[in-house]
Chain A
Amino acid sequence: MYDIATDHASALSAALITLVFGFGFVLGLRFLAARRIAWAVRVTQPYDAAPSITKLAAALMLLSGGLHLALVPGHEGITGMLFIVDGLGFIGLGIAAFFTNWWRRPAVLWLVATIVAYIVWVIAGWETPDQVGIACKLIELVALGLLMRLANPTRRSWPRRAWRATAFPLMACITTLGIWVGGLAHPDALHAHAGALLQPVADVATPEQQVAAARLLADTRASIARYQDPAAAIAAGFKPGPVSSADPLRHFQNAANANAILDPNRPQALVYAQTTHGLQLIGAMYQMTRAGQWGPDPGGPLTQWHQHEGICFSPFGFEFSFETPFWTCPVGSTSITTPPMLHVWIIDNGKNGPFAADLDKTVQRQLTGRS
């Protein structure tokens, strides 16, 4: 669900360069200070005197500053301007941590303002949440946590203690929720719905592709007609998937067909709908063997594969939820990305068409009584 945006990829290199440069800079300073170079001694002394927690917080702010400046070329207008201001602010505060007494409060405000601004941008749809942006917020959240530990409260009244205990988890929850809302409200064109990534295809199908798609549908329909009765499918080696109270569709998978590639005679799975009259065969599912390995698409945009990602899958039954933007799942479930799959619906699938990632909601409601 959260990929790396093309114009953000350079920021990862910038992060590594910032880390190497920072490490090299500290080593160089120590080298010069050991040779009694006056300015190097003046700079090294406050650095050495600073506690580890300050050094780490400053390093994380410098890293975030470097990331923001590296992202400027891919962002125009106000966003680009804010990235410059933000990046320079983080670098200034990161350096101020070693030479001033007042840096902590402005740094806390700067971090909170940056995180809140990102959430606003993402929810408004001005920025698409991707792994670089989320990693940057993670760095800032850790820096914020460190700065909050540096606070030395003089008054220890219970409201202050409660605020100190809950402020950071609250900020982490708000950040996660904001990124999530933004990602779900403004999915990019290749995300059919939350958790499904579509294969990149051309906009329009050629006449040859239309014929090939029709042939695939006809061949699949003819091939799986023998499995109208689920018992026949089981006898042929298809294993029924677990019953889910959340999903009225059941997939019967055949491991023996795992290596077949878009072969109508050997589909990887059959799809049945749980109707009031029992299981009704409604389609087949073709699947590749590895995530990211798109299958052949004879129908071009008509036969577009999709893969599910960002799913928290529980092995205690066919149950799932969505993972958080920080890639965490509930205990007992794990994040998975499925190999690409292509559904072929042999019933009329309404406006979604015979190769859609999902069964049309209206069709599903008519069949199963549930959406």
Chain B
Amino acid sequence: MNRTASTTNSAAEIASVLVVVQASFSLVAGLSAIPFAIVEPGFRVLAVVTILLSAGMFWLARNLRRGRRWAWRWLVTLEIASLAMTALLSLLPIGTVRGPVPVLVNLLIPLAVLVLLAAAKSDARRAA
């Protein structure tokens, strides 16, 4: 409550926290593929790519908090791609989105990040 609004009241700050949550889940997904990668060579590549993506998201979240415009652009691209992919997969009869957890993780959080990024941009414009 006693923090100054300038450091904590920004949409970018909240968006960066949600991106860190997403990055942490990506990190776990990448690490969890490693045992399968022992017998499935394809998953070695997927595990490494996922861990690298996760590291990239941590970095983007950090730079979003510092007000870097390129981090904002990369995150918008990533979140739109993530949402589009989830929407596409949910149309297929393969049970990709089933229950509250996938809705929260794969739809609501990316959507919230996009809304917050849009709000952060309008905040920045007003400040300018």
* Residue among B11, B14, B105 making CB contact with A326, cutoff 8 Å: B105
Does any Cβ of B come within 8 Å of A173's Cβ? yes
Q: Answer whether residue A187 sits at the interface, using C-beta atoms and an 8 A cutoff.
A: no
- List, in ascending order, chain B residues with CB within 8 A of A320's CB: 36, 40
Query: Of all chain A residues, which has the CB nearest B10?
Result: A52
Any A CB within 8 A of the CB of B31: yes
CB B120 to nearest CB in A, in angstroms, measures 11
Which of B1, B21, B31, B89 is close to A334, meaning CB atoms less than 8 Å apart?
B89
**Stretch in A211-219, A232-240, A308-316 with 4+ CB within 8 Å of B:** A308-316
A46, A138, A141, A337: most-surrounded residue (chain B CB, <10 A): A138
Are B9 and A331 in touch, CB under 8 angstroms?
no
Q: Is B96 an interface residue (CB 8 A)?
A: yes
Is A246 engaged at the interface, CB distance under 8 Å to the other chain? yes
Q: Which of B8, B33, B35, B46 contacts A53 (CB 8 A)?
A: B8
- The segment out of A146-154, A199-207, A259-267, A279-287 that lies at the interface is A146-154
Q: How far is the CA of A150 from the CA of B54 in the complex (A)?
A: 23
Task: Report whether A145 and B21 are in contact in the complex, using a CB–CB cutoff of 8 Å.
Answer: yes
Q: In the bound complex, do residue B43 and residue A335 qualify as a contact, i.e. CB atoms below 8 Å apart?
A: no
Q: Per-position contact with A for B27-39: 1 when CB-CB < 8 Å, else 0?
A: 1111111011001
With beta carbons under 8 angstroms apart, the residue of A172, A321, A331 that contacts B21 is: A172
Which A residues are in CB contact (< 8 Å) with B105?
138, 326-328
Q: Of residues B1, B18, B41, which shows the largest number of chain A Cβ atoms within 10 Å of its Cβ?
A: B1
**A246 near B32 (CB under 8 angstroms)?**
no
CB-based contact A327/B101 at 8 Å: yes
Contact A51 B3 (CB under 8 A): yes
CB atoms of A336 and B24 under 8 A apart: no
Question: Are A317 and B17 in touch, CB under 8 angstroms?
Answer: no
Cβ-defined contact, A330 with B49, below 8 A: yes
Residues of the A chain whose Cβ atoms lie less than 8 Å from the Cβ of B25: 172, 176, 324, 326, 328
| Chain A CB within 8 A of B104 CB | yes
Contact B46 A330 (CB under 8 A): yes
With an 8 A cutoff between CB atoms, is B53 at the interface? yes
Q: Which residues of A contact B46 (CB under 8 A)?
A: 314, 330-333
Interface contact B99-A145, CB-CB below 8 Å:
no
Q: A4-B99, A149-B13, A328-B29 are in contact. Are A173 and B24 (CB under 8 A)?
A: yes
Does A296 belong to the interface (CB within 8 Å)? no
- Interface stretch of the complex, out of A25-33, A72-80, A95-103: A95-103
A4 to B30, CA, bound (A): 26
Cα distance, A12 to B95, chains bound together (Å)? 20
Do B30 and A330 touch (CB < 8 A)? Answer: yes
B53 near A53: Cβ-Cβ < 8 Å: no
- Is A347 among interface residues, defined by CB-CB distance under 8 A? no
A173 near B31 with CB under 8 A, answer: yes
- B36 A246 Cβ-Cβ under 8 A: yes
Partner of B96, one of A3, A12, A46, A334: A334
A330/B33 in contact, CB under 8 A: yes
Chain B residues whose C-beta falls within 8 Å of the C-beta of A172 in the assembled complex: 21, 24-25, 27-28
* CB-based contact A328/B9 at 8 Å: no
A13 CB, min distance to chain B CBs, angstroms: 12
Q: How far is the CB of B88 from chain A (nearest CB, A)?
A: 10
Contacts of B24 in A (CB 8 A): 168-169, 172-173
Task: Give the chain A neighbours of B63 by CB distance below 8 A.
Answer: none
Name the CB-closest residue of A to B58.
A169
Instruction: Give B38 Cβ to nearest chain A Cβ, in Å.
Output: 9
> Contacting B104 at CB < 8 Å: which of A135, A145, A245, A330?
A135
Chain B residues in the interface with A (C-beta under 8 A): 1-3, 5, 7-11, 13-14, 16-18, 20-21, 23-33, 35-36, 39-43, 45-47, 49-50, 53, 58, 89, 93-96, 98-102, 104-106
For the complex with contacts A103-B1, A291-B94, 19 further pairs of A-B residues with Cβ separation under 8 Å are A49-B1, A52-B9, A100-B1, A141-B21, A145-B17, A146-B17, A152-B3, A169-B24, A172-B24, A173-B28, A244-B40, A314-B46, A327-B101, A328-B29, A328-B106, A330-B43, A331-B26, A332-B46, A336-B96
- A and B contact pairs by CB, cutoff 8 A, 21 listed: A51-B1, A52-B11, A56-B14, A131-B100, A132-B100, A135-B104, A138-B101, A138-B105, A169-B27, A172-B21, A176-B28, A244-B40, A319-B42, A321-B40, A327-B106, A331-B50, A331-B53, A332-B45, A332-B46, A333-B46, A336-B94
Ranked nearest first, the 10 interchain pairs of A and B with the lowest CB-CB distance are A337-B95, A172-B24, A321-B36, A51-B9, A51-B8, A327-B102, A330-B46, A246-B39, A328-B29, A319-B40
